[in-house]
Amino acid sequence: MQLAFILYKYFPFGGLQRDFLRIALECQQRGHAIRVYTPIWEGDVPEGFEVVVVPVKALFNHKRNEKLTAWVEADLARRPVDRVIGFNKMPGLDVYYAADGCFEDKAQTLRNPIYRKWGRYKHFADYERAVFAPESKTEILMISEVQQPLFIKHYHTPLQRFHLLPPGIAPDRRAPANAAEIRAEFRREFGLADDQLLLVQIGSGFKTKGLDRSLKAVAALPRELRQRTRLIVIGQDDPKSFLLQIKTLGISEQVQILKGRSDIPRFLLGADLLIHPAYNENTGTVLLEALVAGLPVLVTDVCGYAHYIRDADAGRVLPSPFAQEQLNHTLADMLADDQRRACWGRNGLAYAGCADLYSMPQKAADVILAEHP
C-alpha cells in the first residue's frame, strides 16, 4: 500500500515525532510505501521515505494548518494513496494518532467563555470534530485511557472506533548489562562526585512540563542537600524565562539547561531521580523510559502514564490538586533516602521485564493496515 502520514512539525526530539517515525518505519518494514507531508522537517530523512515539505506560511498557526490541509488535499487528489494517517487532528484522515488530549474539554473547563468566540477556537474545535464526530470514519489510535471518556462525552464517538495502544518504549531505553559502567563514565564526564545527586527533567515544552515547579522545589531543598544536588534539564524550548527564574531563586550553580539531544539513555542511567511535575500530559513517555532504565520517578498524577510508576512502585506520584509544598517535601525525602531510591530502581527494572511497554508501533501498524468498515 501507499501510505500518507501528516504532521505539523517533525524534529527528532519530540514524543509525537518519535512515535510517528517508529510507526512509519514499522509500516515500511512490512512492505508499504511511506509519504510524509509536513511544513517543517528537521533532521535526517529515513531511507525510502518520500518527505514532502509543504510550502505554507501564515501569521497564525490555525491559518497555516488550514493552508496545509488544502495543499495536501490537492496533492492527494493528483497522487492518491491507500491510507491517510494524521498525527494532529484534521479533516480527511483514515487513522488519527491521538497524541493530544481533548481540546473541547480544555476550552470549556480551563478557558474564559470569550475564548470560544475567537477564530482560533473555531478552527481547533472544527478539526477535532472532523476526527471524533459520530459520522466521521476516522479510526482513532488512543495512547491515554484518561482522554477517551472526554472525547466520548463531547462528541459521542462510537466506542468501536477507538483502539487503545500499549506504550511504545524503544528497547534501547532499557538498562543494558553494562549500565553501571555507563553510569560511572557519565558521572565522570559531568564532574559528579559520589555523594552528589543528579536530578533530571526531560521533555520539550518546559512550561507544560512544570519546570517552574521543579526549580522552586530545588531552591526549597535543605541547604546541605541543595548544595550536593544538580538539576539538568533537557528539551527543545526557549529557556529565557526559566534562566531568569533560576537566577532569581539563587540556584544558578545547581541548574543546567541543555537543548534536545539523542543520548538521553545515558542521562537516565547517570541520574538519581527523574522529576516531572507536569501541569498536564496526555501520556509522558519519559516516565516509562526512566522506569525501564531503573531510574526512580517523581511525577504528578495528571500524566497519562503516571499510573505505571504507581503500579511498578518505581517512585512517587503526587495527587491532584497540585501543592508546591508537597512537591518540595517529597523531593527532599526522595533525594535524602538512598536505600529507598535503590529499591524503586530495582522495582522499575523488574516491571520492565514483565509488562508490555514496547509494542505500540506494531499494534498501531496493525490498525493502520487493517480493513475498516
For 3, 239, 271, the CA distances from 215, given in Å and listed in that order, are: 44, 13, 17
* pTM metric for this prediction: 0.89
What region does 191 belong to: left with phi over 0, alpha with psi -120 to 50, or beta? left
**316 by DSSP, 3-state: which?**
strand
Dist CA 366 CA 240 (whole Å)? 43
Do residues 303 and 346 both lie within one domain?
yes
- Strand bridging mode 162-164 / 139-142: parallel
Query: Dihedral of the CA atoms 114, 116, 120, 123 (nearest 10)?
Result: -170
Residues 215-244 pLDDT 10s: 999 999 999 999 999 999 999 899 999 999
Beta pairing partners, 96: 86, 140
pLDDT exceeding 90 applies to what percent of the chain? 91
How many alpha carbons fall within 13 Å on the CB side of residue 136?
Answer: 27
pLDDT of residue 110: 86
pLDDT of residue 116: 87
Do residues 217 and 125 both lie within one domain?
no
Do residues 142 and 184 both lie within one domain?
no
Do residues 151 and 21 both lie within one domain?
yes
Residues 147-198 pLDDT 10s: 999 999 999 999 999 999 999 998 878 999 999 999 999 999 999 999 999 9
Do residues 144 and 186 both lie within one domain?
no
Q: Is the pLDDT of residue 113 over 90?
A: no
Dist CA 69 CA 126 (whole Å)? 13
Cβ neighbours around 120 below 10 Å, total: 13
Residue-range definition of the domain harbouring residue 77? 2-166+359-369
Number of domains in the chain: 2
**Which CATH number covers residue 191?**
3.40.50.2000
pLDDT of residue 146: 83
pLDDT of residue 163: 97
Do residues 205 and 108 both lie within one domain?
no
Which three cell numbers, joined as nine digits, stand for 213?
515547579
Beta pairing partners, 201: 233
Residue 373 vs residue 353, higher pLDDT: 353
**Peptide bond between residue 113 and the one before it cis (omega within 30 degrees of 0):** no
Do residues 203 and 337 both lie within one domain?
yes
Dist CA 261 CA 257 (whole Å)? 12
